[in-house]
Structure 1
Amino acid sequence: MLEIDNLRAGYGAVEVLRGVSLDIHDGEIVALLGSNGVGKTTTSSVLSGLLPAWSGQIRFKGEPIAGLSPQAIVDRGLIHVPEGRHIFPNLAVRENLELGAYRRGKANRARNLERVMETFPRLRERSGQKAGTLSGGEQQMLAIGRGMMAEPDLLILDEPSIGLSPLLVEEMFALIGKLNESGLPILLVEQNVLQSMEIAARAFVMENGEIRLSGPTAQLMDDPELKRSYLGLA
């Protein structure tokens, strides 16, 4: 579904990504993990065309997409839900969702809207409410729901648990698992290592712009370096 090979990128003269390679197969959740500032969001920004790649290859559904505009990447079905939600606070919940189908999914907008409402019942309850009045967890649901309106073939979720209470974090990860049950592949970009690995099939752990660890999550959970560095276990 997605292949990244030796990707390099950065800002100005500062190189952030130093030869990142990873892949996502159809139907799986893959976690891109690491602490703040290691290059996770830079990776997702390059994948969605918001930041140019300096070198390396990006193939989505077998076709190269490096250098394409964000609009062209969306049209191909690669949908990015960015960190920070970026909802339209003065528009109603329903209006925010409908804007998700602006470039892709217009023909099935009503059907997709109903699907989102079924997945996130609280959005149905608040469909006429201004998005800016929602709680943090509800705003994150709205951001993901808006992404779903574009009929993604692959969904990138960038830090969906950031700023949420522990209870809402649990709920958010359960909802992400539910989205994947229909076969939707998801790249989950997260600092929350433990809970991400509980729902992901495979994980890539990033440090200083490079992939340091990768493999099936069940295998990585027993890795002494990951336990020491990210889980606080000896």
Structure 2
Amino acid sequence: MLEIQNLKGGYGAVEVLRGVSFDIEAGEIVALLGSNGVGKTTVSSILSGLMKPWSGEIRFQGELLNGQSSEAIVERGLIHVPEGRHIFPNLTIRENLELGAYRRAKKNRARNIEKVTAIFPRLKERFDQKAGTLSGGEQQMLAIGRGMMAEPELLILDEPSIGLSPLLVEEMFTLIGQLNADGLPVLLVEQNVLQSMEIASRAFVMENGEISLSGPTKDLMNDPELKRSYLGLS
């Protein structure tokens, strides 16, 4: 579904990505892992058209995305739920969800609201509540639900567990697994290595703007370099 080849990019004269390559097949969760500052969010921003790559190639369902606007990328079905949620705090849950269908799937808005609130029943309980009054976990559910309103072909989740309690983190990863079980491919961009690898089929680990480790998660869990660098195990 998605293929990235030798992606380079950065901010001003500062190079952040130094030739990143990975791919996502239909129906799978792929985890893009690494500590803070290694370039994961830069990858997400380039994929969603918020930043332009310096070089490299991005193909989504066979179509070249380089140079396309973020609006065009959304209309193709590549939907990005950004780090930090970025909900509209002064709008209600209903209004936030409706805005998720602004560029794509507008005709199915009512049906998709029913679908999203079935996945996240807590949102339905607070439908006319201002989004800014929700808890952190509820705001993350709303951000993902807003992304689901656009009927994504591929969903990019950027640090969905950040700022959540351990119990809510567990719940969030369970929900992501359920979305994928329903057939939705997911690019999971995370610092939470262990729980990401529990639900992903493959993982790509970033260091210093490059992919340092990659492979099926069942193999990477036993990789000594991963254990030493990210899990603190010798």
TM range (shorter): over 0.9
Amino acid at match of 1:28: E
Query: Aligned partner of 1:94: which letter?
Result: R
Structure 2 residue ranges without an equivalent (≥5): none
Quote how far apart the aligned CAs of 1:107 are: 1.1
User: Runs of 4 or more off by more than 3 Å in structure 1?
Assistant: none
% identical equivalent positions: 81
In 2, the alpha carbon distance for the partners of 1:116 and 1:27 equals 19
**Corresponding residue for 2:132?**
132
- Corresponding residue of 1:123: 123
Question: What is aligned with 1:49?
Answer: 49
Query: Following the alignment from structure 1 to structure 2, what is the Cα–Cα distance between the partners of residues 15 and 32?
Result: 19
Residue 221 of structure 1 and its aligned partner are, at CA, apart by 0.3
Deviation at 1:182, TM superposition (A): 1.1
Cα distance in 2 for partners of 1:108, 1:90 equals: 24
Residues 192-211 of structure 1: matches in 2 within 5 Å?
192-211=192-211
Partner of 2:6: 6
Q: What secondary structure is seen at the aligned counterpart in 2 of 1:129?
A: coil
Corresponding residue of 1:178: 178
Counterpart in 1 of 2:219? 219
Deviations 1:132-151 (A, max 9, x none): 00000000000000000000
How far did 1:109 drift?
0.7
Aligned residue runs from structure 1 range 1-234, under 5 A: 1-234=1-234
SS at match of 1:84: coil
* CA distances 1:3-46 after superposition (whole Å, capped 9, x unpaired): 00000000000000000000000000000000000000000000
Partner deviation per Cα, 1:87-146 (whole Å, 9 max, x = no partner): 000110011000000010111111111010000010000111000000000000000000
Cα distance in 2 for partners of 1:31, 1:61 equals 19
AA of the residue aligned to 2:149: M
SS in structure 2 at match of 1:213: strand
5+ residue gaps, structure 1:
none
CA-atom RMSD in angstroms: 0.4
Which amino acid in the other structure matches residue 215 of structure 1?
G
Q: Deviations over 1:59-95 (max 9, x none)?
A: 0000100111000000000000000000000110011
Q: How does the TM-score come out when normalised to structure 1?
A: 1.00
Q: TM-score, normalised by structure 2?
A: 1.00
Letter in 1 for 2:2: L
The one-letter code sitting in structure 2 at the alignment partner of 1:175 is: L
User: 1:232: how far off?
Assistant: 1.0
Letter paired with 2:170:
E
One-letter amino acid of the counterpart of residue 98, structure 1:
E
Q: Which amino acid aligns with 1:217?
A: T
Q: Distance in 1 between matches of 2:138 and 2:198?
A: 23
TM-superposed deviation, 1:54:
0.4
Q: Can you list the C-alpha shifts for 1:181-217, whole angstroms capped at 9, x where unaligned?
A: 1111000000000000000000000000000000000
1:196 & 1:66 partners in 2: Cα distance?
Answer: 28
1:165: Cα distance to partner? Answer: 0.4
